[in-house]
Amino acid sequence: MTPQQFLDAAARLMTAPTPSTRRCWQRGSACLTRIALEHGLRGFWQRQAPSVLGCRMRQQLIVLSSLLDAETARTARAAWYGLSRAMHHHTYELAPTVAELDSWHRDVTRLLDRLDNRTEVQP
């Protein structure tokens, strides 16, 4: 699946959860959105710096700030960490709200557009 297909599936789950996903649609939507972000980053690294692909996501997000503007890198880190936290079930925490999920979804959508439009590495 492409990153856009994952985002579309996350949006469908967020806006029209099925009865079988009644208790888990929030975390499912967060997971699909995070997967879209990770796949988008994988494509970016394949084009820009293939050696980074072998690194863990935390390291990839650190390196991202050397290739993109600070705001884009910050958005990527905030979205990935927020989505990672949201998709894990903790009995003492509420599931993410629709507003949080929608915000992350919009951030990842914009970020993927920036990554796709990036054609050369900044000096």
CATH code of 96's domain: 1.20.120
Q: What is the pLDDT along the chain (123 residues), one digit of tens a residue?
A: 999 999 999 999 988 888 888 778 999 999 999 999 999 999 999 999 999 999 999 999 999 999 999 999 999 999 999 999 998 877 777 888 899 999 999 999 999 999 988 654 444
In a domain, 43, yes or no: yes
Asked, for residue 25, whether it belongs to a domain, the answer is yes
pTM for this entry: 0.89
- Is residue 7 domain-resident? yes
89, 15 Cβ separation under 8 angstroms:
no
Residue 123 belongs to a domain:
no
Query: Does 20 map to a domain?
Result: yes
Q: Does residue 122 sit within a domain?
A: no
How many domains, the chain? 1
User: Domain residues for 36?
Assistant: 3-117
Answer whether residue 112 is part of any domain.
yes
Residues 6+ apart with CB under 8 A from 102: 14
Residue 85 domain-assigned (yes or no): yes
